[in-house]
Amino acid sequence: MRYGENPHQSAALYVPAGQPAHGLAAARQLQGKELSYNNLVDLDSAWALAQEFRAPAAIIVKHNNPCGAAEHATSLADAYRMALACDPVSAFGGVLAFNRVLDRETAEGIAKILTECIAAPGYDAAAREVLAGKKYWRLVEIDADRSDAGGASELELKRISGGILAQQPDRGALTAGELTTVTRRAPTREELVALEFGWKVAKHVKSNAIVFARAGQTLGIGAGQMSRVDSVKIAIMKAQSSLVGSVVASDAFFPFPDGVEEAARAGATAVIQPGGSVRDADVIAAADRLGLAMVFTGMRHFRH
């Protein structure tokens, strides 16, 4: 590549020996400037989140964190509009991923704001025509049938000084039946749908991760803060629409009631979190006092 994260760093892309390339490493670039190190890191994050959803889904990533995510029952274009509404300021110059072939209507929406890269399982002719005028925008086509070929046995690697850390990828997923209601009030059916959506997104946000959501749409995302309550406050600050009636997903437990209290003040009505804090009882008591429904997953999604 031209360089790594910064111009003074060199970089290259390697694939494991002895097996066919798959996923982003095997993607076809259809248009645009050369892909950079940062482009590939962000594309990988966006594509991984897009694959969490079965309905048409749109993901917007900036600096390796989602700043908007949405799914829609039938329309990819509507999913993109919903994702963009979460944080349109941060979406400027972002990286997009879709889990459906890109169509004209979606492409026309995308063309209204500067975009670095787009990943999708395909682009129809009309979408290609719309985006052809954005000659520097990078369009990447990933074979969805082969996007995870060999991935089940693939380890995630991270360099540290003097060594390499290896771990299994985080493939943890939950069904509604595996959630434990810990408050006096159980979530409504609508809240439960929103909680499951928010939980999928929180898995892909850098810890400490907080996601305010409604069914099928992120409303505010707080990422990468050193304290969980600050992630809550940032998610509230970033929200572009009312959070009244929203739900909150947290990638790890709330160590104190303050995060839940801030979420309730903003209008949230339900919370999904792993549980496991020595102060769980205090957090649950605060949720009960505030009328929140809270479910525990028993599963954490730290992302460093």
Model confidence pLDDT, tens digit, residues 3-34: 999 999 999 999 988 888 889 999 999 999 99
pLDDT per position as a tens digit, 265-275: 999 999 999 99
User: What confidence tier does 147 reach under pLDDT thresholds 50, 70, 90?
Assistant: low
d(CA 242, CA 263): 12
CB atoms within 10 A of CB 213: 31
Structure tokens at 299: 């599963």
Residue by residue, DSSP assigns 143-185 as -GGGTTTTGGGPPEEEEETTEEEEE--------GGG-EE-SSS
Domains delineated in the chain: 23-146 (3.40.140.20), 176-296 (3.40.140.20)
- Looking at residue 133, what is its pLDDT? 93
Percent of the chain scoring above 70 in pLDDT: 97
Inter-axis angle of helices 258-266 and 228-238, to 10 degrees? 10
Burial class (CB in 10 A: 0-12, 13-18, 19+), 202: buried
Signed CA dihedral, 199, 201, 203, 207: sign only: negative
In 3D, which of 217, 128, 153 has the Cα closest to residue 19?
153
Location of structure tokens 């990819």: 76
Do 120 and 98 contact (CB within 8 A), yes or no? yes
